[in-house]
Structure 1
């Protein structure tokens, strides 16, 4: 079975400091190992053998020269872009980002093969796995009672009900680097459990389900580098060292 994939490649409102640092208009176009990050992601999706149709969401469609992909004009935020893509492409839909420059076909296969029977699923990796694979990286980890986790920029939307989760994403996407504020969004029970050191991953997912109104699940990835994306110059330098080293 193959799925449709969406690659988010637009720019957020305001200046893109990383794109300016690299001398390009869009972060997605920054070369790593001589290949634009967007193309590296598309190549990995194709090589996975699990992805058929590929769409790229970007605010300037004319910048995409990758062959064989569809273009969707991005919206003001990531969540709005995903909602528009779900409406146009349908489901099931695999979503990732153009700055996931280290993405490997094996990761895509593992995630899709282990996605639970839930409306929406996300990939996570434990801090120990991430740091063991990439000691030089600096990630933001959500510390829970049963471990500390980082997102891996891979999501699966099983059916049309997943749009409800996209609406929740819209409300919390600005808090992804601020764990405590994110917990506050999930409700007072989550904050209390976290303060007492008893908020587990399962309880956190349950809070997300209550907030979004849809079933949610996670796939714990055994690949630490799946949590490494390119958000800042230090990330770019590290990823280039890994690819070119």
Structure 2
């Protein structure tokens, strides 16, 4: 992908004033939790600002004033424009709304991806298969656990192995809109397991439950449900790409990793 032509969407929606992480660290919004002294959101913006392929950064948040008041915002964005877009109540709804406003291709990440590095973003973008309408980044459990053997991740278990999500998504063509809308459907049914099984297909759900479902078959099924959208996976060789800050233990892990990276004095 050519340098400077892509919009990056940062999902920073909140669970509201009762967000347990925001309360735990005494900030008005989870995205503002300081990791090694810097708000997570600012760390993500800085990584995107340093990525040549990114031309514009869009922060999806229900409280734009919090972003506007961030010290060092312009410096982190590296001169790139930072738009503020209203959060729509859930990640999938926010992405669907953003796709109606911003043209593809569109990169999506999250405000709690506090370790995000420009090199990861560039690797992901360069590795999206030709012809894919959408792609997501996954890291194999072997890669993640080799560097962080004690980490607790949510694993997606397929016949080929177990994977962790890396909070990087790419919507390459207009067909990806249907995949975002499918995501919205699944998200809306998360408390209705029978309806979700009916939507995804009982056979696929059972094969996944017992570890028999191949990742390629799962992608093909998602594409079928999304009207022929071609979905792909990019396997990330970076263990830390699988780490986001969802709980206090994650923050401790991220700060420990950052401390290990600091040169000794």
State the alpha-carbon separation in 1 of the partners of residues 183 and 209 from structure 2.
24
Aligned residues: 243
- Corresponding residue to 1:210 among 213, 217, 224: 224
CA RMSD, Structure 1 to Structure 2 (Å) = 2.2
Does residue 75 (structure 1) correspond to residue 88 (structure 2)? The answer is: yes
Correspondence 1:135-214 to 2 at 5 A: 135-173=149-187, 185-195=199-209, 197-213=211-227, 214=229
- Corresponding residue to 1:221 among 218, 222, 236: 236
Partner secondary structure for residue 113 of structure 1: helix
**Residue 138 of structure 2 corresponds to which residue in structure 1?**
124
Q: How does the TM-score come out when normalised to structure 2?
A: 0.85
**Residue 35 of structure 1 corresponds to which residue in structure 2?**
38
Assess if the C-alpha contact under 8 Å between 2:17 and 2:28 holds in 1. no
Q: Give how far 1:148 is off.
A: 0.4
Assess if the C-alpha contact under 8 Å between 2:12 and 2:59 holds in 1. yes
Where does structure 2 lack aligned partners over 5 or more consecutive residues?
Answer: 75-80, 261-265
- Corresponding residue to 2:20 among 17, 25, 32: 17
Does residue 57 (structure 1) correspond to residue 60 (structure 2)? The answer is: yes
State the alpha-carbon separation in 2 of the partners of residues 16 and 219 from structure 1.
31
Assess if the C-alpha contact under 8 Å between 2:157 and 2:211 holds in 1. no
Does residue 92 (structure 1) correspond to residue 117 (structure 2)? The answer is: no
**Residue 250 of structure 2 corresponds to which residue in structure 1?**
235
Question: What whole-Å deviation, never above 9, does each CA across 1:37-84 have from its counterpart, x for those lacking one?
Answer: 111011111212121111100000000032241111111111111112
Partner secondary structure for residue 47 of structure 2: helix
Assess if the C-alpha contact under 8 Å between 1:187 and 1:207 holds in 2. no
Q: How does the TM-score come out when normalised to structure 1?
A: 0.92
Assess if the C-alpha contact under 8 Å between 1:55 and 1:71 holds in 2. yes
Partner secondary structure for residue 154 of structure 1: strand
Where does structure 1 lack aligned partners over 5 or more consecutive residues?
Answer: none
State the alpha-carbon separation in 2 of the partners of residues 208 and 118 from structure 1.
13
Quickly say closer, same or farther: Cα 1:171–1:14, change in 2 above 3 A.
farther
